[in-house]
């Protein structure tokens, strides 16, 4: 689970990326945005990916992140720089570059997942986005899970990385309880998932609470 120390470590890594990847004249914009969202694990994941692998090699600062759509714990977010806007897919604490927001995408899998008829519909929606920057730490956002949007006191979408395991109280999608309870080394089919869901329901799933937000799970970059 991501702690305050983990957040500080990630901020330090992003700061280093910014100094290497952003022109000195724009560096203050990048650092100011980072400082504003230094406690937001979703935005930090996005910034880490953006600055570690600049889209199209363009050395620009991120100045805004806007929510586009969410589904089953995954999010499509718009990342704005002074000159461009990019789309990123965020799921389970990991962010991945998709495309420029004004060009749309051809990946049928992503379009279908987020219920778009085609790439043109996505482009039109991005043009009509509200100007308010997204933050999973805003009071309105904190009342809901930052990943699956479950309200405070309600159950998460099954598979949401923020859900707490009722056996070990760790990250449900990251702990080994699902393997231990089923007596297997990995989950390979739907029957196993159904069996685990039955065990989970019998034990009692833990509903989302606002305080879970600061314990947002880590990703594959080695933060634990």
Position 26 scores a pLDDT of 95
Model confidence pLDDT, tens digit, residues 7-63: 899 999 999 999 999 999 999 999 999 999 998 888 999 999 999 998 877 889 999
Dist. CA 119–CA 145, nearest whole Å: 28
Q: Bigger pLDDT: 161 or 81?
A: 81
Mean per-residue pLDDT, 139-151: 67
| Alpha-carbon torsion (10, 91, 152, 166), positive or negative | negative
Q: Among residues 140, 144, 142, which one has the least CA distance to residue 154?
A: 144
Task: Tell me what the pLDDT averaged over the chain comes to.
Answer: 83
Q: Bigger pLDDT: 81 or 91?
A: 81
Q: Is the pLDDT of residue 220 over 50?
A: no
Position 45 scores a pLDDT of 92
Model confidence pLDDT, tens digit, residues 205-214: 998 887 776 4
How distant, in Å, are the alpha carbons of 172, 190, 205 from that of 133? 29, 38, 32
Q: Among residues 1, 33, 216, which one has the least CA distance to residue 134?
A: 33
This prediction has a pTM of 0.63
Instruction: Calculate what percentage of the chain has a pLDDT beyond 70.
Output: 87
How distant, in Å, are the alpha carbons of 44, 198, 204 from that of 34? 8, 42, 38
Instruction: Count the Cβ atoms, other than its own, within 10 Å of residue 186.
Output: 8
Model confidence pLDDT, tens digit, residues 85-117: 999 998 877 899 999 988 877 778 889 888 888
């Amino acid at each position: 689970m991501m702690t305050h120390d983990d957040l500080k470590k990630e901020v330090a890594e992003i700061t280093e990326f910014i100094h290497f990847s952003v022109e000195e004249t724009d560096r203050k914009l990048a650092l100011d945005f980072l400082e504003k969202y230094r406690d937001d694990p979703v935005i930090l994941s996005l910034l880490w990916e953006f600055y570690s692998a600049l889209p199209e090699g363009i050395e620009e600062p991120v100045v805004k992140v806007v929510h586009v759509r969410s589904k089953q714990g995954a999010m499509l977010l718009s990342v704005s720089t002074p000159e461009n806007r990019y789309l990123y897919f965020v799921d389970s604490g990991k962010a991945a570059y998709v495309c420029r927001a004004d060009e749309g995408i051809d990946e049928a899998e992503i379009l279908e997942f987020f219920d778009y008829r085609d790439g043109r519909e996505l482009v039109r929606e991005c043009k009509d986005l509200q100007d308010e920057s997204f933050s999973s730490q805003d009071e309105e956002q904190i009342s809901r899970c930052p990943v699956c949007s479950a309200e405070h006191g309600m159950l998460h979408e099954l598979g949401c990385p923020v859900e707490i395991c009722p056996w070990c109280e760790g990250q449900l999608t990251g702990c080994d309880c699902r393997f231990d309870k089923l007596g297997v080394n990995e989950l390979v089919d739907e029957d196993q998932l159904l069996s685990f869901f039955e065990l989970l329901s019998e034990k009692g799933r833990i509903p989302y609470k606002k305080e879970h937000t600061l314990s947002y799970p880590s990703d594959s970059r080695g933060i634990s």
